[in-house]
Structure 1
């Protein structure tokens, strides 16, 4: 299956928080979207890897993604090395996305920056002919090189200035529903689990008010921001709103 967009997150819920509304909008427009989680979030203070598995499945169903795969890298301890790069290259070559979305380049959680760089590097390496990968580990089908045309980074904890903003005004409800599918992670006044930076009501509220503020800055109701690795190209000045 060829996908239009492949969104990577270091942990289950990263993609929903960072670009869930954008994905919902593209899916509604007919694009095929996949989500790849690098880890199961097993070091998270609240919940377990098993509950995160169930929650990510529910969130994917809400967004309407075509596939969701967890690569089961070690939460907190995965590194940007050949083994991990090859695992991601196989995924990129299998699904041949035009656009890859990945974690913020720098962020509060160390896995976000690491995951961002790892995926970005793998996107470049995936286009090199002499890197030999198979369709599956035990298969003999050689994978053709594939380099995504565009790599964008969504914004997470830190309020990074975006290079562009997507108007997601009609898709915030679906984003919030997908985020709140992670019931163990976010605000729940009835929960007895330890408090974390993302379990507060302030954080849950921030998902909406940060999108509203970005929307205000560009003249729409809600927006999601992204940073780019290279200069964007337009055919005309009138392509920019």
Structure 2
């Protein structure tokens, strides 16, 4: 499938927390969107890899995306090595995105920063024709996305740009809440976590409100980029104001 946007998350629910409002908006705009999770989140305090699989599938439906898959790297212990880099390269070549979204370069969970570097490097290497990968027994064509953007998740990082999700914020929260073992739960059968407390939803909302205020809208998601973004016309800015 040729996609416009391919979003990577190291754990199932990272994409929902960090950039699902953007993905939902892109789908509404007619874009093709896919998600690739690097691990099954099997080290999470609550739930299991199997429950996370189900929750991720439900969240994919809530977001309306066109495809989702999991590379099954070991949660917490995956390395930025050749084998894993090739897995990400193969995923990029499979979906041929114009834009890749991935975790922030540094965050509360150490997996996030490690995966960020892995995906960004793979996005570059995917464009080298001498690196050979296969999908379903056939050699893949080389492909390099135009941009790699890093979504801001837990820690506050100053964004390079903000994406208006005012129209999709409620659907974003529905996608997040598909992870019934992880969020908004008072189930005492498993230990409470940083994200399981219902108050954590207020943190998500506060971040979206804060980013939204910076650009004069209700809700927004923040992104980092190492590649400078250029424009050919001021029309985009004028349309936003009007």
TM-score normalized by the length of structure 1: 0.96
Can you give the 5+ residue segments of structure 2 that lack an aligned partner in the other structure? none
Aligned partner of 2:109 in structure 1 is 109
Following superposition of structure 1 onto structure 2, how do residues 27-46 of structure 1 map, counting pairs within 5 Å? 27-46=27-46
DSSP 3-state at the match of 1:201: coil
Deviation at 1:217, TM superposition (A): 1.4
* Alignment partners' CA distance in 1, 2:54 and 2:119: 24
Aligned partner of 2:190 in structure 1 is 193
Query: Does 2:74 match 1:77?
Result: no
Aligned partner of 1:64 in structure 2 is 64
Query: Does 2:147 match 1:150?
Result: yes
Query: Does 2:232 match 1:235?
Result: yes
Following superposition of structure 1 onto structure 2, how do residues 198-213 of structure 1 map, counting pairs within 5 Å? 198-213=195-210
* Alignment partners' CA distance in 1, 2:37 and 2:98: 18
* Alignment partners' CA distance in 2, 1:53 and 1:135: 22
* Alignment partners' CA distance in 2, 1:185 and 1:135: 33
Aligned partner of 2:180 in structure 1 is 183
Q: Once structures 1 and 2 are overlaid, which stretch shifts more, 97-106 or 193-202? A: 193-202
Aligned partner of 2:171 in structure 1 is 174
User: Of 156, 178, 187, which residue of structure 2 is paired with 1:159?
Assistant: 156
Deviation at 1:238, TM superposition (A): 4.7
Deviation at 1:236, TM superposition (A): 3.0
* Alignment partners' CA distance in 1, 2:164 and 2:58: 25
Deviation at 1:187, TM superposition (A): 2.1
Deviation at 1:206, TM superposition (A): 1.1
Contact preservation (8 Å) 2:186, 2:196: no
User: Of 190, 215, 223, which residue of structure 2 is paired with 1:218?
Assistant: 215
Deviation at 1:203, TM superposition (A): 1.5
Deviation at 1:150, TM superposition (A): 0.7
CA RMSD in angstroms, aligned pairs only: 1.1
TM-score normalized by the length of structure 2: 0.96
* Alignment partners' CA distance in 2, 1:21 and 1:183: 19
DSSP 3-state at the match of 2:134: coil
* Alignment partners' CA distance in 2, 1:178 and 1:193: 22
Aligned partner of 1:131 in structure 2 is 131
DSSP 3-state at the match of 1:101: strand
How many aligned positions are there? 238
DSSP 3-state at the match of 1:166: strand
Deviation at 1:94, TM superposition (A): 1.1
Instruction: Please list every run of at least 4 consecutive aligned residues from structure 1 whose deviation after the TM superposition is greater than 2 angstroms.
Output: 189-192, 236-241
Deviation at 1:237, TM superposition (A): 4.3
Post-superposition CA distance 1:191-219 (Å, at most 9, x none): 43211111122322111121011101110
* Alignment partners' CA distance in 1, 2:6 and 2:190: 33
